[in-house]
Amino acid sequence: MKGRIQIQHVTPSVDCGRYAAKAVVGDRVAVSADVFREGHDQVAAAVRFRGPHDRAWREEPLALDHDDRWSGEFAVDAVGAWRYAVCGWTDHYASWLDGLVKKHAAGRTGLAIEFEEGAQLLQRRKGAKSFRQVLTETAALLRSDAGEAEKVAAAAAPELRALLERHPDKRDLAQSAELPLWVDREAARFGAWYELFPRSEGAQLAQGGTSARGGTFADAAKRLPAIAEMGFDIVYLPPIHPIGRTHRKGPNNTLAPGPGDPGVPWAIGSADGGHTAVHPDLGTIDDFDDFVAEAARHGLEVALDYAIQCSPDHPWVAEHPEWFRHRADGSIAYAENPPKEYQDIHPIDFDTADRDGLWNELKAVLEFWIGHGINIFRVDNPHTKALPFWEWVIAEIKREHPEVLFLAEAFTRPKMMQTLAKLGFSQSYTYFAWRNSKHELTEYLTELMTMADWFRPNFWPNTPDILTEYLVTGGRPAFKIRLLLAALLSPSYGIYSGYELCENTPLRAGSEEYLDSEKYQYRPRDWDRPDSLAPWIARVNRIRADHPALHQLRTLWFHHIGNEQLLCFSKVAPGRTDAVLVVVNLDPRQAQEGTTWLDLWQLGLEHGGPFEAHDLMTDTTYIWHGPQNYVRLDPGTEPAHVLRLRAL
């Protein structure tokens, strides 16, 4: 950009264009920039963009907001890599017209030279014959004996201005650097996940509760209708590969497993195969294909765990010992996160001399499962693997399979989590599980919204590794509260199976580990228990699906309410076609009450009259007036109002 037009601070831009911003098919991507030049001449601006199948640039105009800031938007209609840039130019006609109007308004006469200058500007413009004809007629009027007021009115006619804007004169065009944008399918931003261990479905336990036989893919497929009925979109499976026997862990992470104990799924690999094999107890690869097909028949997509680690029995350990770190005594190091030890797992050494061989093999694993219908991968602990590998492998996979999504399971330092998102991960786990108070939630969500152009959160109130004190001590109301917050604050959220049964017994007091964790043993459940939250969860997921306002994070807005145990927030769909207001009691033990102070303008209710607040959870309708409204919520019955707002 070497011309007279200055273009600065283009957004969205991730690290000055080093990484791609993110969007979803159907979005209108908001773009803004500072565009200006010296002097009093006026400028015009536009955003240029092109998608993965475009041969030429498309363009949409930008409008001046204030203080030289221009903004606009463009629609994205295909998955893949996009590029965009902001361009600006001097609007010579608008500059001339601005001076003419000011002179005429001040009572100046004798403006013949000014009118001639305008006529020359019009005649200089190029375009179709019909366009030039209009300009020629206007130029002739400016040179005629018509009155000056008539000439000014003709020069400033809205129809003429609109025509000129559609055919701009860009003789001094300047353009910003091109910026990258990656456009995903809708599941990258919005979806409800359900984590399922197939081996626990249909499992049978011997007398005394010891392990006997695990479930199969066919058994797990019988669970799919119930998961779909609850309104989930994605079934996530922990590793389904053969499990090593060396240093196999027993119940509750003991080092003395019994002969029937199944081991930890993340200890991948045995004589039966590695990352491209399925555990023989679960079935065959054909049985897995049948499971994926059955899930699709119920409207569910299967996500698979991608864990880059091996048991000591994995074929790679013998075939490629150079891919692992060796200790001083020559032994291969096992995984550690002191004081935790994982003797049944060998981490991969990304400093291996055979980098190309390792990287290509890890890429081939993804391609294998993509070939079996998997287009979503939940990546285990990506923050412990080489960052250049992730940037390379995600780009390589998306080049051939742009529909594939990656969820980063990284609970680590914020900058590392953010960098993984920049490198290409479609979604990210977050600290949501440990944000409980109004202040913590408000502060954390506000932070996430500042990263909405490239960091997509996925809120999980629990996982096989995370059983928070809030769930342990809060009982059934706590499970409702945390699911509501996860499902309504974030467009993507998930739960680990057993959540609907309010499983919350820790290994010991103060521990976030489950007692008799499913990571180490089979865990058959009675899904037909009358106290199951399944029907209630189904209602929440129906509300999410039915209300576009809940499909995005950007429009989240926190409203004041006079009680620190009550959280009040809203989301509004683009164009204000849908507005949902949520008031949640954060206290799982007792009723809380307070008075809202709503920002009505944010909700599209500026008229100030009465409005309908229909509770989507209880099917109750209230008539509210103005910003102040009394609320009382008892967690023993319904801990939240989820209100669809409509002006009366």
CATH 2.60.40.10 spans which residues of the chain?
A: 6-183
Asked whether residue 63 carries a pLDDT value surpassing 80, the answer given is yes
- The residue annotated as part of the active site, out of 114, 305, 409, 638, is 409
* Out of 22-26, 78-82, 94-98, 210-214, least confident range: 210-214
Strands (E), 504-639: 557-561, 566-572, 579-585, 592-597, 610-615, 620-625, 630-633
Which amino acid is present at 322? E
Residue range 136-158, pLDDT digits in tens: 999 999 999 999 999 999 999 99
CATH 2.60.40.1180 spans which residues of the chain?
A: 554-647
As a whole number of angstroms, the distance between CA 527 and CA 108 comes to 85
- The residue annotated as part of the active site, out of 261, 294, 301, 380, is 380
The answer to whether 409 is a known catalytic residue is yes
The answer to whether 380 is a known catalytic residue is yes
Paired tokens of 590:
């007792």
> Is-above-0.85 flag for pTM?
yes
Select from 30, 25, 16 the least CA-distant residue to 402: 25
* Out of 83-97, 194-208, 601-615, least confident range: 194-208
pLDDT for residue 2: 64
Torsion angle, alpha carbons of 635, 637, 643, 648, to 10: -130
**Where does the pLDDT of residue 204 fall: very low under 50, low under 70, confident under 90, or very high at 90 and above?**
confident
CATH 3.20.20.80 spans which residues of the chain?
A: 192-307+355-549
| CATH no., domain 6-183 | 2.60.40.10
Q: Can you state the angle between helices 129-142 and 148-155, rounded to 10 degrees?
A: 160
Residue range 242-266, pLDDT digits in tens: 999 999 999 999 998 988 899 999 9
As a whole number of angstroms, the distance between CA 225 and CA 298 comes to 6
How far from chain centre, in Å, is Cα 53? 24
Asked whether residue 173 carries a pLDDT value surpassing 80, the answer given is yes
Mean pLDDT for the stretch of residues 191-203: 97
Mean pLDDT for all residues in the chain? 96
Provide CB contacts within 8 A for 118, sequence distance 6+: 93, 96, 97, 100, 139, 142, 155
pLDDT for residue 291: 98
Fold of 192-307+355-549: TIM Barrel (3.20.20)
Residue range 606-641, pLDDT digits in tens: 887 899 999 999 999 999 999 999 999 999 999 999
| CATH no., domain 554-647 | 2.60.40.1180
